[in-house]
Chain A
Amino acid sequence: MGKRSVIPFGPQHPVLPEPIHLDLVIEDETVVEAIPSIGFVHRGLESLTDKKDFNELVYIIERTCGICSYMHGMGYCEAVERVMKVQIPDRSRFLRTVWAEMSRVHSHLLWLGLLADAFGFEALFYQSWRLRERVLDMFEESTGGRCIFSVNKIGGQLKDVPDDMLKAFSVKFTELEKEIRVMAKTFLEDYTVNKRLKGVGILTKEQALEMGALGPFARGSGVRYDLRETGYAAYPELDFEMCVEKDGDCYARTKVRIEEIFQAISLIRQAIDKMPGGEIAVPVKGNPMGEYAMRLEQPRGEGVYYIKGNGTKFLDRVRLRTPTFANIAPMVQTLKGCKLSDVPLYILSIDPCISCTER
Chain B
Amino acid sequence: MSKMMRFAKTALKNLFSKPVTTSYPDKPYEYHERTRGHIEIDFENCTLCSLCSRVCPPRAIEVDKRSGNWSINNFDCIQCGYCVEKCVKKCLKIVPGYTAPASVKNVTVLHKEVEKKFPVVDRELCVYCTLCDKKCPVQAITVDRPNKTWELNKQNCIGCGLCEKNCPKKCIKMVM
Is A145 in contact with B3, judged by CB distance below 8 angstroms?
Answer: no
Q: Is B4 an interface residue (CB 8 A)?
A: yes
Given contacts A56-B55, A59-B80, A150-B79, contact A158 B85 (CB under 8 A): yes
Q: Is A164 an interface residue (CB 8 A)?
A: no
Is B10 in contact with A140, judged by CB distance below 8 angstroms?
Answer: no
Interface of chain B, main secondary structure: loop
Q: Is A143 an interface residue (CB 8 A)?
A: yes
Q: Is A3 an interface residue (CB 8 A)?
A: no
Is B20 in contact with A158, judged by CB distance below 8 angstroms?
Answer: no
Is B10 in contact with A183, judged by CB distance below 8 angstroms?
Answer: yes
Is A144 in contact with B11, judged by CB distance below 8 angstroms?
Answer: no
Q: Is B65 an interface residue (CB 8 A)?
A: no
Q: Bits for B38-74, please: 1 = Cβ < 8 Å to A, else 0.
A: 0000000000000000010100000000000000000
Which residue of chain B lies nearest to A127 when distances are taken between CB atoms in the complex? Answer: B10
Is A186 in contact with B81, judged by CB distance below 8 angstroms?
Answer: no
Is B6 in contact with A59, judged by CB distance below 8 angstroms?
Answer: no
Partner of A144, one of B20, B32, B82, B85: B32
Q: Which of B110-124 contact A (CB under 8 A)?
A: none
Q: Is A190 an interface residue (CB 8 A)?
A: yes
Q: Is A60 an interface residue (CB 8 A)?
A: yes
Q: How far is the CA of A144 from the CA of B34 in the complex (A)?
A: 5
Return chain B residues, CB-CB under 8 Å to A182. Answer: 9-10
Q: How far is the CA of A193 from the CA of B7 in the complex (A)?
A: 11
A112 CB to nearest B CB, Å = 13
Q: Which of B1-26 contact A (CB under 8 A)?
A: 3-4, 6-7, 9-11, 14, 20
Return chain A residues, CB-CB under 8 Å to B81. Answer: 144, 150, 158
Given contacts A130-B20, A144-B94, A150-B36, contact A191 B3 (CB under 8 A): yes
Is A60 in contact with B57, judged by CB distance below 8 angstroms?
Answer: yes
Return chain B residues, CB-CB under 8 Å to A153. Answer: 85
Is B34 in contact with A140, judged by CB distance below 8 angstroms?
Answer: yes
Q: Is B143 an interface residue (CB 8 A)?
A: no
Q: Is B153 an interface residue (CB 8 A)?
A: no
A59 CB to nearest B CB, Å = 4
Return chain A residues, CB-CB under 8 Å to B32. Answer: 137, 140-141, 144
Given contacts A123-B11, A144-B94, contact A189 B78 (CB under 8 A): no
- Nearest first, the 5 closest Cβ-Cβ pairs linking A and B are A144-B34, A144-B36, A190-B6, A59-B80, A191-B3
Which residues of B line the A interface, CB within 8 A?
3-4, 6-7, 9-11, 14, 20, 32, 34-36, 55, 57, 78-82, 85, 94
